[in-house]
Structure 1
Amino acid sequence: MAPSTTTPAARDRDAIEVVAFDAMGVLYSCADDVAELLVPYLRSHGCVLDRPGIAQLYRECSLGKMSSADFWATAGAAGASDEEYCLNHRLTEGAVALLAELEATGVRLVCLSNDVSEWSKLLRERFGLGEYVTDWFVSGDIGVRKPGPEAFATLCRRLDVVPERVLLIDDREENVTAARDAGFQALRFGRPHLSTMDQLRKELRPW
């Protein structure tokens, strides 16, 4: 019998039932949406909170402790709205094509994201991602954020899947490390040689 040419990584991929994408920095092009998008938007609407104050307020909102409407009001951002703010986000080039390609293989596509509930919903509806991504585990809905272990446990519990059969694609090293500690397979997007959807497509082969 000829020796197998299947690599250990390929065999691991064969065991994957669920691919979990991060949102910011993976599906959407802006990796640090607080610094790059939220702070400038708040400033343009009169917010005078310092950056640590904005970051803390955002964290509370992203854990579901307040609504987005309460966030804008507490931040002192007169006239700010979810719809206007979300117009600043852009999809990562090639993201939809890759999702469609993966979905056709029968693997389950989900999103595991630290985000405000209302903003996450607006963005996925705007870009039509719900056509491919079946389940959205958003910190504003589930009340826990990555890299906290409960975020990964919640995904597995709700999908009834063992961690070893989940592949996380995330742009933050601390989330990738925590996912692996939880038993997931994980890839860090945005590092050298894995910073485009075409490169990710090649990494995910033989799917």
Structure 2
Amino acid sequence: MKAVILDMYGVILKDPGEGFYTYVNRTFPNLSSRDIYQHWDKADVGEISSLEVLKRLGFKGDLEKIEKEYLDTVDIDESFYEFATNIKKNYKLALISNDSSEWSRYFRDKYKVNDYFDAITISGDLKIKKPDERIFKYTLEKLGCLASDCTYIDDRRYNLAAAESLGMETILFNSRNVQYEGKTVVNFKELENMLAKL
């Protein structure tokens, strides 16, 4: 193994994916998950900005302030830093995240994680999102690695399946407590121990 590739939400960031839905629903209780994510999905592939998402959902006023209020509800898993420091001693470390360019930049700057990664791939920048295999291939190219050189960690099973189909080793970071047949961890310490055995 030459490289470890991490997902962001539900792995590095604690927000498991329902946080934005809950936040929007406090103001607009009649909006369904589908109503909300049809706009968010467009931001995820760079078709619209994150502020445009809020506008389309019906938010009025200072949209930047409203956006920041939501973003500041999302915390990092502090144990990421120790994990990343240890892993970097032996492996390259990369990030693949389905996110708007703006939100990803905000979180990466706020939590000062950019310098830990040898390659960073954000769906909003690339305009392709997981589980599209092209986003994985693009990252492999940036790392200068083969799929078989890499272990990919995500909290979504369909993203793991896509990485696996390319020949990557995969591990579920089970922050949402789902059933999974493959390798599973629930925190960074477990992940570090598992990687040491691969």
Matches of 1:153 and 1:29 in 2, distance apart?
A: 26
Assess, with a 3 A threshold, how the Cα gap between structure 1 residues 58 and 47 changes in structure 2: closer, same or farther. farther
C-alpha offsets along residues 18-69 of structure 1, whole Å, 9 cap, x if unaligned? Answer: 211000111111222xx2x112322345585432111111111101100112
Aligned mate of 1:52, from 34, 47, 50? 34
Partner of 2:24: 42
Matches of 1:150 and 1:92 in 2, distance apart?
A: 28
Is the deviation greater in 195-204 or in 82-91?
82-91
Matches of 1:100 and 1:58 in 2, distance apart?
A: 32
The amino acid of 2:113's aligned partner reads L
Partner of 2:141: 157
Equivalent residue pairs, number: 188
Partner of 2:190: 199
- 1:121-200 aligned at under 5 Å gives the runs 121-190=105-174, 194-200=185-191
The amino acid of 2:155's aligned partner reads D
Partner of 1:97: 82
Scaled by the length of structure 1, the TM-score of the pair is: 0.82
Aligned mate of 1:65, from 35, 43, 47? 47
8 Å Cα contact 2:87/2:192 also seen in 1: no
Query: Which consecutive segments of 4 or more residues in structure 1 shift more than 3 A?
Result: 43-49
Partner of 1:10: none
- Structure 2 counterpart SS, 1:19: strand
Q: Which runs of 5+ in 1 are unaligned?
A: 1-15
Partner of 1:84: 69
Matches of 2:109 and 2:27 in 1, distance apart?
A: 25
8 Å Cα contact 1:45/1:80 also seen in 2: no
C-alpha displacement at 1:201, in angstroms? 1.4
Partner of 1:11: none
Matches of 1:147 and 1:53 in 2, distance apart?
A: 22
C-alpha displacement at 1:167, in angstroms? 1.3
The amino acid of 1:38's aligned partner reads F
- Structure 2 counterpart SS, 1:27: coil
The amino acid of 2:195's aligned partner reads L
Matches of 1:58 and 1:141 in 2, distance apart?
A: 14
Matches of 1:17 and 1:198 in 2, distance apart?
A: 19
C-alpha displacement at 1:99, in angstroms? 0.6
Matches of 2:136 and 2:85 in 1, distance apart?
A: 24
C-alpha offsets along residues 79-109 of structure 1, whole Å, 9 cap, x if unaligned? Answer: 343322210111124111101111122x211
Partner of 2:11: 26
Partner of 1:115: 99
The amino acid of 1:20's aligned partner reads I
